[in-house]
Amino acid sequence: MQDTLSPPRFRVPREDRSFLSIPDLQTASAWVAENRKLFAQSSCVLHGRSLDSLRTAARKSAIRAAQVYTRSILNLDLPELSENTDHSCLVSGHQPELFHVGVWAKNFALAKLAEQTKSVGLNLVIDNDSLGSTSIRVPSGTASQIRIDRVQYDLPRPPLPWEEAQVLDPAQFQAFGADVAQRIRQSWGFEPLIGTAWPAAVQAMANSGRLCDGLTGFRAHVERSWGLGNLELPMSQLCETEPFHWFFAHLMMRLPEFHTIYNNAVGEYRRAHRLRNRMQPVPDLESADGWLEAPFWVWRGGESDRGRLFVRRIGSVCELRLRNEIFARLPYTEQGSLDDAVALLAALPLQGIRLRTRALTTTLFTRICLADLFLHGIGGAKYDTMTDRICERLFGIKAPSFLTVSATLYLPLGDLFATTEFQLRNIQHRLRDLNYNPDRHLGDSAAVAGLIAEKTQLLTEAQRLRDAKTLQGRLTTDQHRRLSAIRSSLQSHVQEIRQDYEAEQVRLKTELAANSLLRNREYPAALYPESLLKEFLMRRPG
């Protein structure tokens, strides 16, 4: 189990074909059973409902919804999972973007671990996050003159939640795969995965018109064709299930306590990681005029701005506010059933209200109420030490273990230049030295022998003065002016040397910049040759 008292030290794997799993998958397999036992033995009750029974309901509703969604984006008949069986559920998730291999490795570890433990692998599509860009970075040119092109898969638009993002230019979206594949073929001579698999994105997008579904359909299609069996479920749909509404209502009834625990956990994280920015890793929850901020997003369907949720208790009612509008009044109860509050929350989608988790509440609900094991990337694993503390202080149970997975696989763009940072620092040192000691770079030149001898004499005199502690070791004003004049005169003799050094500096900087692009681990996995991806991802997680 993770130690929540000391921040973990996760390091991104940098070597080509490297895979990170903390712990290894065999140990993580044992953690699945340990986590289930942890919850089964817990005495935690959420307003008359045991945590174990809430988890059972959450798994069943999530799996049922995921089967429907996965069929819709893949246009496939998937085998039914019996609702009479309490399936173990392993969960991971990410935004519905064209992400890099290190992120995608989680899905393969998820599938492998689900197979080992006879569980259901569930990938959450975090469509309640904000869509910031509709383009990807594509390397073009040659190894010696590499550049990055931004290629759009749809028209740009202001940031908005992924779940609200419709495809604005279907023709551009459809042509995107062939466009990117042609660029890769021309520059690098291989066929990328996107060239053959993009039609699956077009088909999934055509069913709903949503960007999220198109990009998820592309990835899920590739995974299914390679034999993975993970189910897909948008976070937006999970946030509209009955178990989530119960969880949410329970937190609202305990919001003053939850508010304090949340802010304390964030503050402890900042101190442990020496963060001074009050916005990192997440901002504190605010309070004003009796209103407490709750860590959830809320907005109306079709809006582009996610609003912060504020809550206050008035008598026997919890009022929920979006900006200046009170959009719900939940009946407040200290210990009794939450059925009435849950019924009111269930009606909100019909009114166009989107009530969604934020970062920490996404993993809090998933780890506590749904997953028998959660799979994180490195960034999420660092932040989730806060979730551990919230879990233990709010629910009184030890936080369940989670698995951390990442990987690095470089695009086959050619060999690196032999250039090193040491070479660049060396030439920069020579350029600086050229300003103050041009004579060191001239060798035995008769044309400047007299100037060099005079400079040497002046410096020898300065050293004598320092040794004698006279005039604080300084030359006279005339001597100093003469030394400066000598240096200026010598500069005219080193112009060609300076040009050579500067040209060498430019070459070294160019080659180092090219190396950083040739070995960038964050290019979208869709740009890689399918055979390279499949060999690496299907082999390493096992």
Closest Cα partner for 522 from 138, 95, 134?
Answer: 138
DSSP 438: G
In a domain, 475, yes or no: yes
Contact partners, residue 488, CB within 8 Å, separation at least 6: none
In a domain, 176, yes or no: no
**Structure tokens that stand for 529 in this block:** 């040759």
Closest Cα partner for 406 from 19, 26, 124?
Answer: 19
In contact, 190 and 414? CB cutoff 8 Å:
no
- Put residue 469 in one of left, alpha, beta given phi > 0 → left and psi -120 to 50 → alpha: left
C-alpha distance from residue 236 to each of 163, 233, 244 (Å): 7, 8, 11
Summarised one tens digit per residue, pLDDT across range 181-203 is 999 999 999 999 999 999 999 99
Contact partners, residue 373, CB within 8 Å, separation at least 6: 28, 31, 32, 35, 90, 91, 113, 400, 401, 402, 403
Per-residue pLDDT averaged across 150-168, rounded? 97
**Structure tokens that stand for 316 in this block:** 């026997």
Per-residue pLDDT averaged across 377-393, rounded? 93
H-only helix segments in 403-476:
421-436, 449-468
Backbone angles phi, psi at 132, to 5 degrees: -105, -25
User: Which three-class secondary structure state does DSSP give residue 303?
Assistant: coil
pLDDT at 439: 74
CA R_g for the chain: 31
Q: Is the peptide bond before 349 cis (omega within 30 degrees of 0)?
A: no
C-alpha span between 71 and 535 (Å, rounded): 27
C-alpha distance from residue 288 to each of 254, 279, 312 (Å): 17, 18, 10
Q: Are strands 120-125 and 130-131 parallel, antiparallel or unpaired?
A: unpaired
Q: How confident is the model at residue 534 (pLDDT cuts 50, 70, 90)?
A: very high
pLDDT at 86: 80
3-state secondary structure 104-164: HHHHHHHHHHHHHHCCEEEEEECCCCEECCCEEEEEECCCCCCEEEEEECCCCCCCEEHHH
pLDDT at 4: 43
Backbone angles phi, psi at 145, to 5 degrees: -135, 50
pLDDT at 6: 47
In a domain, 455, yes or no: yes
**CA 180 to mean position of chain CA atoms:** 23
Query: Any idea which of 167-176, 227-236, 432-441, 503-512 has the lowest mean pLDDT?
Result: 432-441
C-alpha span between 434 and 498 (Å, rounded): 7
Summarised one tens digit per residue, pLDDT across range 210-250 is 999 999 999 999 999 999 999 999 999 999 999 999 999 99
Contact partners, residue 266, CB within 8 Å, separation at least 6: 281, 282, 284, 386
Q: How confident is the model at residue 70 (pLDDT cuts 50, 70, 90)?
A: very high
In a domain, 106, yes or no: no
Residue 498 amino acid letter: R
User: Which three-class secondary structure state does DSSP give residue 429?
Assistant: helix
In a domain, 525, yes or no: no
In a domain, 406, yes or no: no
Tally of domains within the chain: 1
In a domain, 534, yes or no: no
**Structure tokens that stand for 206 in this block:** 């055509």
Closest Cα partner for 52 from 31, 38, 64?
Answer: 38
pLDDT at 81: 78
Provide the domain limits for residue 491: 421-518
- Which class for 26: exposed (0-12), middle (13-18), buried (19 or more C-beta within 10 A)? exposed
Per-residue pLDDT averaged across 477-504, rounded? 79
When the pLDDT of each residue in the chain is averaged and rounded to a whole number, the result is 91
In a domain, 366, yes or no: no
Q: How confident is the model at residue 278 (pLDDT cuts 50, 70, 90)?
A: confident
C-alpha span between 382 and 282 (Å, rounded): 12
pLDDT at 473: 53
> What is the length of the chain?
542
Backbone angles phi, psi at 94, to 5 degrees: -165, 165
C-alpha span between 238 and 59 (Å, rounded): 10
Q: Are strands 373-376 and 307-314 parallel, antiparallel or unpaired?
A: unpaired
Is pLDDT of 2 > 50? no
- Greatest Cα pair distance, the chain, in angstroms, is 99
Query: Any idea which of 10-19, 287-296, 445-454 has the lowest mean pLDDT?
Result: 445-454
pTM for this prediction: 0.88
pLDDT at 250: 97
C-alpha span between 404 and 106 (Å, rounded): 8
- Which class for 195: exposed (0-12), middle (13-18), buried (19 or more C-beta within 10 A)? buried
